[in-house]
């Protein structure tokens, strides 16, 4: 009734202003206006806008035509063009809640959130029970990062029975942003119950389930999202990344392949598929994917890095060092590249170069315990037992339950002649990781040097019960058996150890078995 009254008043004003104007033009303007309104009602928004343009051209004082044209432009997503029409309408009635609502929505679509909020607030001052206005203000609050205000408005809109799944979706997003994944999950599930084909709901619930570490549920949701919209490659990417996180690389590979079938040059999909191939030991296709990235992006440091890992896996350490070096050249702050180049250098006997690489990696990541372990090993190889123990002590300060660090410190102490301390460290390693072969062998070494040959024999037998070809255990057991007077058995163990690669075994055979 109020809108009708405004229309009548506006037309009276228009008639008053038209005194003396050409009657034909006046009648024509109303004809175009009426025709435009009818086209609005039949959703012919382009036709409506065209007719209303003509009505305004013939009669610029026909204020209602501006409002109707604003609606047509709004429906045509011409938000910037609609704003001046609504503003002109408000010059006649500045408090009209419907016009403020539409202009507020236009400002929201234009991402002018502060101005949108002003309009929506003014609309609600006049008509506080309009659920559409409450809904849009909730969305504006969300985009302004006023998440609690967004939740409050969207809850009101839902209670007012607004028929729009976005009310639940945005409220779910707001709950997620406030650290309430359970409520977010509930809202997304509500959308799915109401609108089973809402792809966004499956996608968002999949993401929140990933955050909640419900990986199986997340994968199910993302699969459903891809089935409902097979054109959205971003959803396929999220599914592939989730499958990689779950270490389901065999499932991830075909997911990335779907992306690459449609977007062959997608570097992210190539990288992730290459990594998945690498993790499943499919080294040739992995290398092919990384090389495709390098061909397209010469500064592809990560692709060079993974190529280095492939070379290392294949035992081609010189090639690995070259690839890691190229990655470092591109990105001098790549700690993993320094670490793995250090590992390769250590393997080929370039211990000094390895120490330099580990040092650089630790400059970039001072608390990386894995690098400290590797540097501790390298320092032991150079005879710097004090430096090696210092690194291993730091590891244990940061990670007191690191069984490997205790084992390496045990080994270092054996090498430096601290046998009692070595036995203590290896025993602690075994408390943390029962049956740890390397710790048993190093403890056996310490016991052998302390002439506890029966204790050494016991540790070696425990290793050999599960790993009969453990050369280190055969070597120490052989020496212990000889010391216990079982020369033939001991020499047989030394011979087996030598055949398995224990180089010191043949020297001991020459000394003790002839």
Tokens 């710790």 map to which residue?
A: 439
Answer whether 394's CB lies under 8 Å from 372's CB: yes
CA dist 395 and 409 (Å) reads: 10
Q: How far apart, in Å, do the first and last CA atoms of the chain sit?
A: 117
Q: Give buried/exposed letters for 165-194 (b at 16+ CB in 10 A, else e).
A: bbbbbbbbbbbbeeebbebbbbbbbbbbee
| Residue with token string 């690191």 | 402
> What gap in Å lies between CA 449 and CA 416, rounded to an integer?
12
Identify the pLDDT of residue 27: 74
At residue 18, the 3 state secondary structure works out as coil
Write down the pLDDT at residue 10: 47
DSSP states of 133-181 as a string? HHHHHHHHHHHTT-HHHHHHHHHHHHHTT---HHHHHHHHHHHHHTT-H
Mean pLDDT, rounded, for 495-505: 94
- Can you tell me the distance from the alpha carbon of 501 to that of 497, in angstroms, rounded to the nearest whole number? 6
pLDDT tens-digit readout, 26-46: 678 889 999 999 999 999 999
Tell me the percentage of the chain whose pLDDT exceeds 90.
Answer: 92
Question: Could you tell me which CATH number the domain at 451-514 has?
Answer: 1.25.40
Cα 305 to Cα 340: distance, rounded to the nearest angstrom: 9
Residue 456 token pair: 């050494």
pLDDT of the residue at 17: 47
What residue ranges in 315-399 does DSSP mark as E strands?
Answer: none
Give start and end residues of each alpha helix (H) in 76-127.
Answer: 79-90, 97-109, 113-126
pLDDT over threshold 60, residue 381: yes
Instruction: Quote the DSSP letter at residue 379.
Output: H
Q: What is the DSSP code (8-state) at residue 501?
A: T
Question: What is the C-alpha to C-alpha distance for residues 246 and 243, in angstroms, rounded to an integer?
Answer: 5
Please, are residues 104 and 123 in contact by the beta-carbon 8 Å criterion? yes
Q: According to the model, what pLDDT value does residue 25 have?
A: 63
E-assigned strands of 161-313? none
Greatest extent of the chain over all pairs of C-alpha atoms, in Å: 133
Distance CA 167, CA 158 (A): 7
Q: Are the C-beta atoms of 445 and 415 separated by less than 8 Å?
A: no
Report the pLDDT value the prediction gives residue 261, as an integer from 0 to 100: 97
Confidence of residue 14 (pLDDT cuts 50, 70, 90): very low
Please report which confidence band the pLDDT of residue 13 belongs to, taking 50, 70 and 90 as the band edges.
Answer: very low
Q: Are 483 and 502 in contact (CB under 8 A)?
A: no
Mean pLDDT of 363-382: 96
**How many other C-beta atoms lie within 10 A of the C-beta of residue 8?**
11
Chain mean position to CA 491: 56
Which has the closest alpha carbon to 509: 496, 499, 494?
A: 494
Residue 12 in this model has a pLDDT that exceeds 90: no
Query: For 111, left (φ over 0), alpha (ψ -120 to 50), or beta?
Result: left
Query: For residues 45 and 215, what is the distance between their CA atoms, to the nearest angstrom?
Result: 46
pLDDT digit string (tens) for 212-261?
A: 999 999 999 999 999 999 999 999 999 999 999 999 999 999 999 999 99
pLDDT-based confidence at residue 18 (cuts at 50, 70, 90):
very low
pLDDT reading at 6 higher than 50: no
According to the model, what pLDDT value does residue 1 have?
A: 34
pLDDT, one tens digit per residue, over 405-421 is 999 999 999 999 999 99
Query: Which tokens is 68 given?
Result: 């109707």
Cβ–Cβ under 8 Å, residues 66 and 88: yes
Asked whether residue 490 carries a pLDDT value surpassing 70, the answer given is yes
pTM: 0.78
pLDDT interval class at 358 (50, 70, 90): very high
Q: Please, what is the average pLDDT of the chain?
A: 93
CA distance 309 to 261: 26
Predicted local distance difference test score (pLDDT) of residue 299: 87
Predicted pLDDT of residue 380: 94
- State residue 359's pLDDT score: 97
Burial code (b: 16+ CB inside 10 Å, e: under 16) for 269-297 equals: bbbbbbbbbbeeebbeebbebbbbbbeee
Residue pLDDT, tens place only, 283-306: 999 999 999 999 998 889 999 999
* Residue 9: predicted pLDDT: 38
Residue 469 has a CB neighbour count (10 Å cut-off) of 12
Residue 147 confidence (pLDDT) above 60: yes
Contact 66, 89 (CB under 8 A): yes
**What is the C-alpha to C-alpha distance for residues 53 and 239, in angstroms, rounded to an integer?**
48
In the predicted model, is pLDDT for residue 346 greater than 80?
Answer: yes
- Residue 494's pLDDT is 95
In tens, the pLDDT along 313-337 reads: 999 999 999 999 999 999 999 999 9
Query: Residue 140: pLDDT above 80?
Result: yes
The pLDDT of residue 148 is above 90 = yes
Query: Is residue 131 packed enough to be buried (19+ CB in 10 Å), middle (13-18) or exposed (0-12)?
Result: middle
| Cα–Cα distance, 255 to 266 (Å, whole number) | 13
User: In 3-state terms, what secondary structure has residue 314?
Assistant: coil
514 vs 512: CA distance, rounded Å: 6
* Predicted pLDDT at 107: 98
| 186-215 confidence digits (pLDDT tens) | 999 999 999 999 999 999 999 999 999 999
pLDDT at 24: 63
CA-to-CA distance for 165 and 147, rounded, in angstroms? 18
Task: Kindly tell me if the per-residue pLDDT of 376 is higher than 60.
Answer: yes
Among 297, 371, 298, CA closest to 341: 371
What are the tokens at 141? Answer: 């609050």
Element (H, E) at 472: helix 471-483
Structure tokens at 5: 């009254």
Judge whether residue 499 has pLDDT over 60. yes
């Amino acid at each position: 009734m109020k809108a009708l009254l405004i229309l009548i008043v506006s037309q009276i004003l228009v008639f008053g202003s038209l005194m003396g104007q050409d009657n034909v033009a006046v009648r024509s303007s109303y004809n175009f206006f009426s025709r435009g309104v009818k086209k609005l009602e039949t959703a012919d928004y382009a036709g409506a806008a065209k007719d209303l343009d003509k009505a305004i051209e013939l009669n610029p004082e026909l204020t209602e035509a501006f409002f109707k044209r604003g609606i047509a432009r709004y429906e045509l997503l011409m938000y910037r063009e609609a704003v001046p029409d609504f503003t002109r309408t408000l010059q006649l009635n500045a408090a009209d809640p419907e016009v403020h609502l539409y202009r507020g929505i236009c400002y929201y679509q234009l991402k002018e959130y502060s101005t949108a909020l002003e309009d929506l607030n003014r609309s609600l001052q006049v008509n506080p029970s309009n659920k559409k206005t409450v809904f849009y203000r909730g969305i504006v609050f969300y985009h302004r990062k006023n998440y609690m205000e967004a939740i409050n408005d969207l809850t009101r809109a839902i209670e007012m029975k607004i028929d729009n799944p976005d009310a639940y979706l945005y409220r779910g997003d707001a709950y997620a942003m406030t650290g309430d994944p359970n409520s977010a999950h509930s809202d997304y599930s509500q959308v799915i119950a109401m609108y089973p084909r809402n792809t966004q709901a499956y996608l968002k619930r999949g993401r929140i389930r990933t955050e909640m570490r419900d990986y199986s549920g997340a994968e199910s949701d993302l699969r459903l999202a891809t089935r409902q919209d097979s054109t959205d490659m971003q959803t396929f990417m999220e599914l592939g990344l989730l499958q990689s996180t779950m270490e389901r690389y065999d499932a991830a590979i075909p997911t990335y392949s779907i992306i690459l079938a449609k977007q062959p040059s997608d570097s992210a999909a190539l990288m992730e598929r290459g990594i998945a191939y690498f993790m499943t030991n499919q080294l040739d296709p992995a290398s092919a994917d990384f090389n495709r990235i390098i061909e397209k992006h010469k500064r592809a440091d990560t692709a060079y890095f993974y190529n280095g890992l492939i070379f290392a896996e294949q035992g081609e350490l010189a090639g690995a060092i070259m690839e890691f070096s190229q990655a470092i050249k591109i990105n001098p702050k790549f700690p993993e590249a320094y670490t793995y180049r250090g590992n390769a250098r250590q393997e080929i006997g370039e211990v000094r170069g390895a120490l330099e690489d580990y040092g650089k990696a630790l400059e970039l990541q001072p608390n990386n315990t894995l690098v400290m372990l590797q540097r501790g090993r390298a320092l032991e190889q150079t005879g710097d037992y004090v430096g090696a123990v210092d690194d291993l002590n730091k590891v244990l300060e940061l990670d007191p339950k690191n069984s490997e660090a205790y084992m390496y410190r045990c080994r270092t102490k054996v090498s430096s002649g601290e046998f009692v301390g070595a036995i203590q460290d290896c025993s602690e390693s075994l408390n943390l990781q029962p049956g740890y072969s390397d710790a048993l062998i190093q403890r056996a070494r310490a016991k052998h040097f302390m002439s506890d040959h029966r204790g050494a024999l016991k540790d070696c037998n425990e290793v050999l019960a599960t790993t009969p070809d453990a050369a280190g255990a055969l070597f120490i057991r052989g020496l212990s058996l000889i010391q216990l007077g079982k020369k033939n058995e001991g020499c047989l163990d030394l011979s087996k150890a030598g055949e398995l690669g224990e180089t010191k075994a043949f020297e001991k055979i020459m000394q003790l078995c002839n």
